[in-house]
Amino acid sequence: TNWTSGAALLTVAQQCVGKVPHRCGRTTPSGWDCSGFVQYVCAQVGVSLPRSSGAQASVGTAVNGIGNAQPGDIIANSTHVGIYVGSGMVINAMAPGTYTGYSAISAVFSGGYSIRRVL
């Protein structure tokens, strides 16, 4: 595992917190949805991802259980995706009317999710 890359990905994600509004279907720092945010952040560290959260839930390498997740891993299911920061939290583009920010995994993933390591 390349910890440096995970840290770099997380640094890019953290720079977006509180600054970028949620915009459905958008993929740039002027506004994005959850998968647009993750796609953009990963691109900044050289990782190309598909556009939808469902497709992002199958990229990279599967991580078995949140206890094995590392900062920079992607948490995703068919309806939402975020970037894991540790302690059960993700950075994500949550909903219209909000800005990119921190959320508890339990608050934004009502069902199952996959943990994917893309670095």
68 is known as an active-site residue: no
- 16, 22, 42, 92: the catalytic one is 92
Q: Which residues lie closer than 8 Å to 44 by C-beta, 6 or more apart? A: 9, 12
- 16, 22, 34, 42: the catalytic one is 34
Strand partners, 91: 83, 102
Q: Which of 28, 10, 9, 23 is nearest to 99 (CA)?
A: 23
Q: State the Cα–Cα distance between residues 108 and 36, nearest whole angstrom.
A: 16
34 is known as an active-site residue: yes
User: Tokens representing 44?
Assistant: 């900044």
80 is known as an active-site residue: yes
Q: Which residues does the annotation mark as catalytic?
A: 34, 80, 92
